[in-house]
Structure 1
Amino acid sequence: MKIKQDTIVRPLPSEELIKSHEKFWRLSLPESFLEFIKENNGVEVEEATFECNNRGYAIERFLCILDDIENHPKGIYDIDVVFSQIGERLTANEDLLGAEVLPIASVFAGDFVCLDFRTDKNNPSVCIWSHEESGEFEPVTYNVADNFSEFLKILE
């Protein structure tokens, strides 16, 4: 995976900001993802492709964590912004508080790479969420990797 260094979204998220987001989402982000986002917040990538469900996917950019989404030019790429737009299509539980499937990267054609906490709250897998196949409270996802570290290896 080739990162476009000049596209890292600044300011990088602080520990305090990340903790407040985790509290809102009611989950703990895996250490490998935390390390990545603290250095590569919202970064665009080149040549970051992978295969899943007999289809090829190309990551456009990773999402970011921002403190002031309304006044930041990259605010539309904030995880919370994306989550608020598609949240009802990421869960089958309309009474859910927090998140089960958290978008972390946009892929070409409107789908998202997500951390999937439905099976294991402590070690989420990585999945692709299909926007065309998903409906309100009817998410359609396909497993890509057992964890975020493994996902990054697939992109190399």
Structure 2
Amino acid sequence: MGDQLEWRRCQKPTDINSIRKVESYFGIRFPEKFIEVTLKCHSGTVLPNAFYVEDRGDVVLNDFLSFDPEDDLYIIQTYKNIKDRLIENIYPFVNDASGDCLCFDYREGDIEPKVVLWDHEEAFLDKEKGIFPVCDSFEELLLLLENEGY
């Protein structure tokens, strides 16, 4: 799974301790496959990087968020920047070309979060209407990219 994906523009490597600090801040555990990808290609991009979301349209991913507090795309800072427009228990992990984010959705539990799209314009008007389902897991997202990516 994810074998057909190409990871590019990987930044300075991160370590498991940096990931655990973010998990502790959020009070969650990231999916194992997400951690594996992050350790392999920290804050990089993926190709193919586009897919379709029902009721929303095409989504083109940019950069996975960083686990380096000095980085402009630091995951905790990104969360703080949009927290007022996010529903509780939803955390960003990658941004897209239009200023939106893919997020992990822990509202149904902390075992395997779903992946949702957070639309910054919709969320400004209504937090709930700013969330669009993408898939049931991070591994499913990788398959979606492999199979539908363009």
When the two structures are superposed, what TM-score results if normalisation uses the length of structure 2? 0.86
After superposition, residues 19-38 of structure 1 pair within 5 angstroms as 19-38=20-39
Shift of 1:115: 0.8
Q: What CA distance in whole angstroms lies between the structure 1 residues aligned with 2:27 and 2:113?
A: 13
The aligned counterpart of 1:134 is 123
Secondary structure of 1:114's aligned partner = strand
| Counterpart contact for 1:88–1:136, Cα < 8 Å | no
Identity %: 24
The aligned counterpart of 1:56 is 58
Farther off after superposition, 78-87 or 133-142? 133-142
Q: What CA distance in whole angstroms lies between the structure 2 residues aligned with 1:151 and 1:20?
A: 24
Secondary structure of 2:30's aligned partner = coil
Letter of the aligned partner of 1:28 in structure 2? R
| Counterpart contact for 1:83–1:102, Cα < 8 Å | yes
Q: Which has the higher helix share?
A: 2
Shift of 1:136: 7.7
Which of 79, 98, 104 aligns to 1:83? It is 79
Q: What CA distance in whole angstroms lies between the structure 1 residues aligned with 2:136 and 2:45?
A: 23
Moved beyond 4 Å, runs of 4+: none
Letter of the aligned partner of 2:7 in structure 1? I
Shift of 1:17: 1.6
Q: What CA distance in whole angstroms lies between the structure 2 residues aligned with 1:134 and 1:149?
A: 26
Matched, 1:3 2:7: yes
| Counterpart contact for 1:90–1:137, Cα < 8 Å | no
| Counterpart contact for 1:62–1:104, Cα < 8 Å | yes
Q: What CA distance in whole angstroms lies between the structure 1 residues aligned with 2:39 and 2:76?
A: 16
Matched, 1:110 2:99: yes
Corresponding residue pairs, total = 140
Shift of 1:88: 1.4
The aligned counterpart of 2:113 is 124
Shift of 1:137: 7.6
Q: Aligned-pair RMSD on alpha carbons?
A: 1.7
The aligned counterpart of 1:72 is none
Q: What CA distance in whole angstroms lies between the structure 1 residues aligned with 2:105 and 2:42?
A: 19
When the two structures are superposed, what TM-score results if normalisation uses the length of structure 1? 0.83
